[in-house]
Structure 1
Amino acid sequence: MNSGTPVQTRPNGQGVLHALLVLVALAALLLVGHELPPQPAPSDVPATIATPPPPPPAPLDPAALSARIVPTIVTITATTGPLTTAGTGIVLSPDGLILTNHHVVDGAHDVDAVAMATGAEYDTEVLGYDRFRDVAVLRLVGADGLPVAPLGQSAGLRLRDSVTAIGNAEGGGVPLSAPGFITGTDESVVARNSTDGTRNRLTGMIEVDADIRPGDSGGPLVDAFGQVVGINTAGNTGMRPDPTEATTGIAVPIESYALPIDDAVAIADQIRSGRGTATVHVGPTALLGVAVTDVGQSQDGAKVVAVGVASPADQAGIVRGDIIVSWDGRPIRSQTDLTVEMNTRKPGDRVDIGWLDQSGQRRTETLVLAEGTP
């Protein structure tokens, strides 16, 4: 054998294995350099199907509307000397917080109420009032567990919306319903108190063609869904001919007016919080003991037209015909000025009052206010 001739050999098993490892390593490097994006995991939350919103509530028929509202009102009887005034109240809380009109309890010595839910009779306490907006808040003494009126909102009311006035019409003690439509919003009206003839200009009122009658005052004006949207305040006092029925003489009700519930609840909340203002009185009423009117355009002051016997004004020497011109050093230019000053006072307060007697002489006295009626 020629040892100088090279000898060719076959690769053994270790060489093959080494080659395979090299290929695997190269493949691994390729995979690392080109990593595939992760695939999202299948969701285990079931797909939801959108459902339509619930349909709007259906209007109530008259029977259902009365059944919803009547248990949440009270009938009111206010006694002023020999006179009685009938009215209605709306239950605001289970313990007998009542919303009504100020003119229902104005000047009353006794105010009684009957809850329509139970027929129970209650004495009442006047917690406060706003005579300018014709709102009063009462509490039924000893009441508990009364159903509360469903309050709506008056801000969204529109012309021709269907409404129903419910109340103690004509003082019969049996709540009656008067359906109608809204004929105006943000209206102004001069209301006359049927008891004493005094007048009050009311603004921002809801005008309706429902037949609101004496005794309905303070009761709820409700929408078609049984939500209280107003307080019946000024009713029609007569009938006017229907121009479409000139030949038959048929008459239709003159428009009536309700205070928006949004305004009334705001006043009630203020009274409940104990925050009195120039228009909102809280607590017992102070008494001066005079009835006054404006003097006229030619002279400032509040002219005295009546003086209560043994009242603080009477004891100070004020008589009919005198003109009150100052209150604790502030000028009194009108009847309203005196009303505002009295509204912020409590029984027992001492005030300096100035007036002109019938000879034109200026007089001033310090007097103590007594406790009077609302």
Structure 2
Amino acid sequence: MIDRLMAIVIVSLSVMLFSCEEANHKKELTDTTQPTQSRSANISQMGGQEEVRKSDTTLSQRSRRPQQVSARTNSISNSRHNAITKAVQEVSPAVVSITVTEVVEGGRRLKFNNYYNRFFSVPVEREVSSMGSGFIISKDGLVVTNQHVANQNAKKVVVSLTNGSQYKAKVLGSDELADLSLLKIQADTTFTAAEFGNSDSVVVGEWSLAVGNPFGLFKASQPSVTVGVVSARNRDFRPDPKEPRVYLNMIQTDAAINRGNSGGPLVNSQGKVIGVNTFIFTGGTSGGNVGLGFAIPSNRVQKIIKQLSSTGEVQLGYDAGFETKQMTYNIAARYDLPAVMGLLVESVNRDGPAFEAGIVPGDIILRIGNERIQSKMHAQALLREYSEGDSMRVELVRNSKRYETKMMLRRKIKE
């Protein structure tokens, strides 16, 4: 009996122990599954956040794209509107095309009379038209151009503006030596004027723009613009020995200057006129541009047009006090003088600067300033560089010896 009771107790204890172990095992299983669920939940939450972040980034990029494109477009637009385009906009309204009609004389050959035509011809007059450029320098319509474009011989002058307007113009004055003319537009209206720059401050290598009417292309539209740099300064030329024109201290540019550009402005990057486009050097028979264009410096232009506007011609503001003639081989042989290029002094005013400087008749003037004299016209051009009160250096030959003296320029003392 006792044995049976002991067996029952042992079985009961075993069952209880098994139940406890099973419960503990379930608890362990429950404890181990909870972290897994938590991690998956965290991963799910993180994945959602990443998706949200990606979505936000995409939306942000999309929202910024139009701004970036707009900024890029503005940058390109700003790069196109640079100093050169602004300079063109500044000066273009003042640039004009000039059409000049002149009356020239010629001979007309008679038909079916070859024998008569060998010795005679019938004089006739005919009108010839030419075109050039210019620019307005005052609100009341003063226009600067070259003398070889428009001069006192012009019968009719028509000025065309960039807005299509056309006006008649009058030649107020011209100077063949300086190759400059001043016109006045015949209209009671206000015009846009160009502004002069300081040609003495021009730097070799800076931008230069030639604006004008090459080949007569500009009639009632925008003028043509070519861009280059200032290639050199202070160039002296006498392009044609048969012509009286002498060009001193010219500005050289590689901006294309072609036929019809004459008289138009040479402009710097600020839109200010630093010269008047005048001629090109082709080096041959070609009339096209080869990279050597020349402009009369603006400071010289302003001096000339100031006199043209007041008197219609250019006069020295002082009296040098001597009369000269150009030296030739015949003169040298006749007076037993050295055959040198220069000016022979014929007479000296006793009340003038030349007499005070010790210059006497028979002297041969070789240089004025630092410039070697090429002709009497050249000397006249050099004398224009001085004003009353200036001291002018003169180099001369007397009795085959060279001397140097200085003249203090002043007005002639009236007797």
TM-score calculated relative to the size of structure 2 = 0.48
Does structure 1 conserve the Cα–Cα contact (< 8 Å) formed by 2:209 and 2:255?
yes
Shift of 1:118: 3.2
SS of the residue corresponding to residue 200 of structure 1 reads: coil
1:188 to 228, 231, 236: 236
Shift of 1:182: 0.9
Structure-1 separation of matches of 2:130 and 2:243: 15
Q: Note the 1:1-374 alignment, pairs <5 A.
A: 60-81=82-103, 82-106=127-151, 108-173=153-218, 175-192=223-240, 198=243, 200-237=245-282, 253-274=290-311, 276-278=313-315, 297-298=329-330
Does structure 2 conserve the Cα–Cα contact (< 8 Å) formed by 1:80 and 1:107?
no
Structure-2 separation of matches of 1:199 and 1:271: 18
Q: 1:277 to 1:150 in 2, by over 3 A?
A: closer
Which structure has the highest helix share of the two? 2
Stretches of structure 1 that go unaligned for 5 or more consecutive residues are 1-58, 241-250, 281-293, 301-333, 341-374
Q: 1:91 to 1:254 in 2, by over 3 A?
A: same
Q: 1:61 to 1:138 in 2, by over 3 A?
A: same
Over the matched positions of the two proteins, sequence identity in percent amounts to: 26
Structure-1 separation of matches of 2:156 and 2:331: 39
The amino acid across from 1:152 in the alignment is G
Structure-1 separation of matches of 2:305 and 2:260: 21
SS of the residue corresponding to residue 118 of structure 1 reads: coil
Identify the range of structure 1 (75-84 vs 253-262) with the bigger mean alpha-carbon deviation.
75-84
Q: 1:83 to 1:154 in 2, by over 3 A?
A: same
Which structure has the highest strand share of the two? 1
The amino acid across from 1:233 in the alignment is T
Runs of 4+ off more than 6 Å: none
Structure-2 separation of matches of 1:86 and 1:279: 31
Structure-2 separation of matches of 1:172 and 1:123: 19
SS of the residue corresponding to residue 159 of structure 1 reads: coil
Equivalent pairs counted in the alignment come to 228
Structure-1 separation of matches of 2:217 and 2:86: 22
Structure-1 separation of matches of 2:257 and 2:289: 12
Structure-2 separation of matches of 1:144 and 1:192: 40
Structure-2 separation of matches of 1:139 and 1:123: 9
Shift of 1:201: 2.4
SS of the residue corresponding to residue 179 of structure 1 reads: strand
Structure-2 separation of matches of 1:169 and 1:143: 29
Structure-2 separation of matches of 1:142 and 1:133: 27
Q: Deviations over 1:158-191 (max 9, x none)?
A: 1111101101111222521111111111111223
Shift of 1:61: 4.2
**Structure index of larger Rg:** 2
The amino acid across from 1:164 in the alignment is L
Does structure 2 conserve the Cα–Cα contact (< 8 Å) formed by 1:167 and 1:215?
yes
TM-score calculated relative to the size of structure 1 = 0.53
